[in-house]
């Protein structure tokens, strides 16, 4: 057809489409911005992140004895204050952990007066590789990377080596040679978190009972390590506890809720639930409440330390929360600073994570994120 | 199967295939029910059926809207993002009360559907491209509006998600009502005839004077509206607005339910009961594997097997 057909009013369909799409988009935007009023506007909103809340502390016993200094690395000394720092975040800042992590890096940079450029890969690994390359070409002289995966960093590492850019990785490791490919790794010991969760579970159940595990996303080292530590400790210390159920809740609240609903149907006498993050644990609470259980009927132990989960302890639904502290800002900048001065920096810095229980939940609530 | 189902004569193979197309999904549901009754502890309880019915609700509602779109020969990839948009609206507008917030969420869903519909019907953009754009843009917009999960304490919304009427959860009432509406629309109204006619042969429908564009626009708006309903219900059930993870990849579950239910992807036909059974089948499949504590990778493999079986049966008809 050579000509565009016109309707009775003489408008072309294409124009109608433009007008209609424009109208609908405007309506969407108006809805989005005009007169929104949330549930608790007066409540002051949430205070995520920031360096004010409890900072990370290092676990001196853990970590590596191997150290790295600037001479071994093969570059000139520098003063952190004159440098531009690039920060690459792996996942969207939509969960409390990532929000707090990014906020902590940003506020620490501000506090020290260091120029910071940031990028977020939105859980896309290829995107993170090009993000980091982008940061380097934008003039980042030091890098802080929260890697999405541990493998596949060769192109970035080669470029960083050529440009003499030291990298500090936080919360997950990059596979490579320390003091050659990167300076240091700062993070929690996820296996240890699993073991400590197991200790709390053993305590809660008195060493006897049936336990379910809500796994995180499959193929993620956080999931594997938190599972490994938990099972190892249960086997070693409490043979009376049996892990009868292991299903993934994908680290989301919805996933935790759906799986727990199925669980309490098929195993109504379940005694404990180990959720590998707080969101799934809160989902489990919603499911248990929906099934008419009372707080404490099923003992829940989770890992992270978000405000909502610690509130769950106060309400009696959650037995214990093992902390995984995301406030990496101070330690990451400290590492770069002392590295720049020529001091020896350990190539692995392990954070000592705390835990929240009924004894300290109320007073520590403000430290949760 | 018995000799009654599979007659020995080779020429009857077509009849078997035809029968499977018509009733295969119900056979699947029945088989899973029998298996579970025999092997799953505590399966035959009211509580269990309640759990399954509540969990299937969002996918079921989405697949009804999706079936309408697919019957016209289109597809809507944006339903998961529209759910997220609805969830964000609930959180943003809850200050005006639950009813107002739900209305705003539904309007947003219909508006998103209208954008899809306008692009497909008037601008002639292919459905898969237009709705892919909305899938990405809608998720983005909802994350701009509500960057992180927001817990909902409003009693009305929580009651909608967890409460019941005459022992049946509100969620199940809503999906039952929507099934009835869609069944009525498809079987008894001119609009229903038109959308199937457009899917069968768009050119012929245009030439015979059907309001093709208007019908398509309405179908996509309905699909958006249904997605918003699913988003509202999922949010109420979760007791939190979570635009980041709500409805991730759910469009694929909805399409699967429609295809497994016997609605052909090329359009021209729409099966309401089959779609419902398709959604129930996938829910039962996942729940069976979870209850028997099999690894999640098995769930994916089992779903794949069901999809291939369904498409294989559909292919036979194409050859006939």
Q: What pLDDT score was predicted for residue A40?
A: 64
Question: Do the domain assignments include residue B281?
Answer: no
Q: Which of helix, strand or coil describes residue A144?
A: strand
Distance in Å, alpha carbon of B252 to nearest chain A alpha carbon: 17
pLDDT 10s digits, A160-190: 888 888 999 998 888 888 888 888 888 888 8
pLDDT confidence of A43, banded at 50, 70, 90?
very low
Report yes or no: A16 at the B interface, CB cutoff 8 Å. Answer: yes
CA–CA distance, B114 with B76 (Å, rounded to integer): 12
Contact status, residue B63 vs residue B257, Cβ threshold 8 Å: yes
Contact status, residue B250 vs residue B76, Cβ threshold 8 Å: no
pLDDT confidence of B4, banded at 50, 70, 90?
very low
Look at A73-77, A161-165, B11-15, B204-208 and tell me which has the smallest mean pLDDT: B11-15
Q: Is the pLDDT of residue B263 over 90?
A: no
Q: What pLDDT score was predicted for residue A79?
A: 85
Look at A6-15, A320-329, A339-348, B254-263 and tell me which has the smallest mean pLDDT: A6-15
Q: What pLDDT score was predicted for residue A2?
A: 41
Pick the CATH number of A67-188+326-352 from 3.90.260.10, 3.40.50.2300, 3.40.190.10, 3.30.70.2520: 3.40.50.2300
- Which B residues 203-262 touch A at CB under 8 Å? 213, 217, 234, 237-240, 242-246
Report yes or no: B96 at the A interface, CB cutoff 8 Å. Answer: yes
CA–CA distance, A49 with A353 (Å, rounded to integer): 16
Cα three-residue angle B191-B192-B194, rounded to 5 degrees: 65
B15-38: average pLDDT: 85
pLDDT 10s digits, A113-159: 888 999 988 888 888 899 999 999 988 888 999 988 888 888 888 88
Contact status, residue A261 vs residue A283, Cβ threshold 8 Å: no
Report yes or no: B153 at the A interface, CB cutoff 8 Å. Answer: yes
CA–CA distance, B45 with B50 (Å, rounded to integer): 9
Which of residues B89 and A6 earns the better pLDDT score?
Answer: B89
Q: What's B207-245 look like in SS3? A: HCCCCHHHHHHHHHHHHHHHHHHHHHHHHHHHCEECCCC
- B290 contact residues in A (CB cutoff 8 A): 247, 259, 262-263, 266
Q: Does the beta-carbon distance from B123 to A262 stay under 8 Å? A: no
Say how many C-beta atoms besides its own lie within 10 A of residue A47's C-beta.
Answer: 12
Computed over its alpha carbons, how large is the radius of gyration of chain A? 24
Only one residue has tokens 């952190």, namely A80
Question: Do the domain assignments include residue B158?
Answer: yes
B284-291: average pLDDT: 89
Which of residues A359 and A239 earns the better pLDDT score?
Answer: A239
Q: Do domains A67-188+326-352 and A190-324 have the same CATH topology?
A: yes
Q: Is the pLDDT of residue A194 over 90?
A: yes
B262-291: average pLDDT: 90
Among candidates A28, A244, A279 on the partner chain, residue whose Cβ is nearest the Cβ of B112: A28
Q: Is the pLDDT of residue B173 over 90?
A: yes
- Domain regions of chain A by residue span: 67-188+326-352, 190-324
Helices B46-71 and B212-238, axial angle in degrees (round to 10): 160
pLDDT confidence of A46, banded at 50, 70, 90?
very low
In chain A, whose CA is at the least distance from the CA of B151?
A: A308
Number of domains in chain B: 1
- Which A residues 93-122 touch B at CB under 8 Å? 93-96, 99
Question: Do the domain assignments include residue B163?
Answer: yes
Q: Is the pLDDT of residue B320 over 60?
A: no
pLDDT over 70 for what percent of chain B? Answer: 94
In chain A, whose CA is at the least distance from the CA of B130?
A: A21
pLDDT 10s digits, A345-365: 888 888 888 889 888 877 778
Which of residues A49 and B65 earns the better pLDDT score?
Answer: B65
Report yes or no: B149 at the A interface, CB cutoff 8 Å. Answer: yes
CA-nearest of A261, A285, A289, A290 to A275 is A285
Task: Give the domain extent around B158.
Answer: 45-248
pLDDT confidence of B176, banded at 50, 70, 90?
very high
pLDDT over 70 for what percent of chain A? Answer: 89
Q: What pLDDT score was predicted for residue A53?
A: 65
Report yes or no: B147 at the A interface, CB cutoff 8 Å. Answer: yes
Question: Do the domain assignments include residue B191?
Answer: yes
CA–CA distance, A83 with A142 (Å, rounded to integer): 7
Q: Is the pLDDT of residue A255 over 60?
A: yes
Q: Does the beta-carbon distance from A39 to B48 stay under 8 Å? A: no
B120-139: average pLDDT: 91
Look at B92-96, B217-221, B298-302 and tell me which has the smallest mean pLDDT: B298-302
Among candidates A48, A245, A258 on the partner chain, residue whose Cβ is nearest the Cβ of B293: A245
Question: Do the domain assignments include residue B29?
Answer: no
- B242 contact residues in A (CB cutoff 8 A): 252-254
The ipTM (two decimal places) reads 0.82
Most confident range (mean pLDDT) of A14-28, A29-43, B93-107, B220-234 is: B220-234
Four-CA torsion A338, A341, A345, A351, nearest 10 degrees: 0
Q: Does domain A190-324 have CATH number 3.40.50.2300?
A: yes
Beta bridge partners of A346: A67
CA–CA distance, A334 with A323 (Å, rounded to integer): 22
CA–CA distance, B94 with A269 (Å, rounded to integer): 38
Ranges of H-type helices in chain A: 13-33, 70-73, 96-112, 125-137, 154-163, 190-205, 221-237, 253-266, 278-290, 307-314, 329-340, 361-364
B195-211: average pLDDT: 90
Question: Do the domain assignments include residue B19?
Answer: no
Q: Is the pLDDT of residue B319 over 50?
A: no
Q: What pLDDT score was predicted for residue A49?
A: 41
Question: Do the domain assignments include residue B119?
Answer: yes
Handedness of CA A138, A143, A149, A155 (dihedral sign): positive
In chain B, whose CA is at the least distance from the CA of A42?
A: B95
Beta bridge partners of A243: A211
Q: How far apart are the first and last CA of chain A?
A: 62
Contact status, residue B104 vs residue B161, Cβ threshold 8 Å: no
Q: What pLDDT score was predicted for residue B316?
A: 55
CA–CA distance, B174 with B184 (Å, rounded to integer): 15
> Best of B46, B238, B248, B250 to disrupt the A interface by mutation (most A CBs within 10 Å)?
B238
Among candidates B40, B92, B118 on the partner chain, residue whose Cβ is nearest the Cβ of A38: B92
Q: How many contacts, defined by CB atoms under 8 Å, are there between A and B?
A: 146
Q: What pLDDT score was predicted for residue B66?
A: 95
Q: What pLDDT score was predicted for residue A11?
A: 54
A326-337: average pLDDT: 88
In chain A, whose CA is at the least distance from the CA of B97?
A: A39
- A92 contact residues in B (CB cutoff 8 A): 143, 244
Tokens of B201: 């042969």
CA–CA distance, B151 with A253 (Å, rounded to integer): 11
Q: Is the pLDDT of residue A4 over 60?
A: no
Report yes or no: B76 at the A interface, CB cutoff 8 Å. Answer: no
Give chain A's mean pLDDT. Answer: 83
Query: Could you tell me how many residues make up chain A?
Result: 369
Question: Do the domain assignments include residue B310?
Answer: no
């Amino acid at each position: 057809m050579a000509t565009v057909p016109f309707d009775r009013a003489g408008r072309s369909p294409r124009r109608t489409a433009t007008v209609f799409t424009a109208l609908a988009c405007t309506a969407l935007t108006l809805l989005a911005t005009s007169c929104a009023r949330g549930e608790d506007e007066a409540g002051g909103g949430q205070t995520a992140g920031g360096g004010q809340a409890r900072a990370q502390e290092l676990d001196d016993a853990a970590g590596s004895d191997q150290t790295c200094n600037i001479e071994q690395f093969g570059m000139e000394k520098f003063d952190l204050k004159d440098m531009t720092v690039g920060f690459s975040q792996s996942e969207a800042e939509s969960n409390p952990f990532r929000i707090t992590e990014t906020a902590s890096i940003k506020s620490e940079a501000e506090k020290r007066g260091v120029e910071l450029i940031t990028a977020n890969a939105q859980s896309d690994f290829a995107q993170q590789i090009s993000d980091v390359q982008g940061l380097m070409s934008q003039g980042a002289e030091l890098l802080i990377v929260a890697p999405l995966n541990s493998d596949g960093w060769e192109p970035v590492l080669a470029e960083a080596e050529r440009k003499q850019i030291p990298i500090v990785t936080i919360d997950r490791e990059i596979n490579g040679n320390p003091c050659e490919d990167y300076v240091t790794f700062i993070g929690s010991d996820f296996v240890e978190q699993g073991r400590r969760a197991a200790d709390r579970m053993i305590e809660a159940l008195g060493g006897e009972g049936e336990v379910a595990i809500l796994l995180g996303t499959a193929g993620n080292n956080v999931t594997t390590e938190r599972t490994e530590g938990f099972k190892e400790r249960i086997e070693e210390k409490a043979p009376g506890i049996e892990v009868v159920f292991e299903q993934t809740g994908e680290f989301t609240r919805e996933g935790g809720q759906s799986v727990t609903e199925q669980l309490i149907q098929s195993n109504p006498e379940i005694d404990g639930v180990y959720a590998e993050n707080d969101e799934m644990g809160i989902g489990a609470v919603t499911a248990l409440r929906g099934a008419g259980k009372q707080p404490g009927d099923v003992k829940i132990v989770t890992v992270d330390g978000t405000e909502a989960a610690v509130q769950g302890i106060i309400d009696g639904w959650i037995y214990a929360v093992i902390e995984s502290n995301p406030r990496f800002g101070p330690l990451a900048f400290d590492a770069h600073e002392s590295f720049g001065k020529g001091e020896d920096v350990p190539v692995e810095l392990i954070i000592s994570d705390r835990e929240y229980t009924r004894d300290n939940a109320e007073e520590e609530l403000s430290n949760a994120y | 199967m018995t000799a009654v189902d599979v007659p020995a004569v080779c020429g009857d193979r077509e009849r078997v295939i035809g029968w499977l197309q018509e009733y295969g999904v119900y056979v699947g549901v029945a088989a899973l029910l029998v298996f579970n009754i025999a092997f799953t502890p505590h399966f035959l309880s009211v509580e269990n059926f309640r759990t399954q019915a509540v969990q299937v609700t969002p996918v079921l509602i989405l697949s009804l809207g999706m079936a309408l779109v697919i019957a016209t020969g289109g597809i809507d990839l944006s339903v998961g993002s529209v759910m997220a948009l609805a969830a964000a609206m609930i959180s943003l507008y809850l200050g005006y009360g639950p009813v107002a917030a739900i209305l705003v969420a539904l309007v947003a869903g219909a508006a998103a559907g209208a954008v899809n519909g306008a692009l497909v019907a008037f601008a002639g953009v292919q459905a898969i491209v237009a709705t892919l754009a909305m899938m990405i843009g809608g998720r983005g917009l909802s994350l701009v509006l509500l960057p992180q999960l927001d817990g909902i304490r409003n009693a009305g919304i929580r009651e909608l998600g967890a409460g019941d009427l005459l022992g049946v959860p509100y969620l199940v009432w809503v999906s039952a009502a929507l099934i009835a509406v869609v069944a009525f629309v498809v079987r008894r109204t001119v609009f229903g005839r038109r959308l199937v006619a457009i899917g069968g042969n768009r050119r012929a429908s245009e030439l015979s004077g059907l309001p093709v564009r208007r019908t398509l626009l309405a179908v996509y708006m309905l699909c958006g509206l249904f997605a918003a309903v699913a988003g509202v219900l999922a949010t109420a059930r979760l007791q939190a607005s979570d635009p980041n993870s709500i409805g991730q990849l759910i469009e694929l579950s909805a399409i699967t339910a429609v295809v497994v239910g016997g609605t052909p992807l090329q359009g021209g036909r729409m099966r309401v009961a089959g779609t419902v059974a398709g959604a129930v089948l996938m829910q039962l499949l996942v729940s069976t594997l979870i209850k028997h504590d099999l690894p999640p990778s098995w769930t994916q493999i089992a779903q794949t097997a069901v999809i291939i079986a369904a498409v294989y049966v559909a292919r036979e008809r194409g050859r006939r």
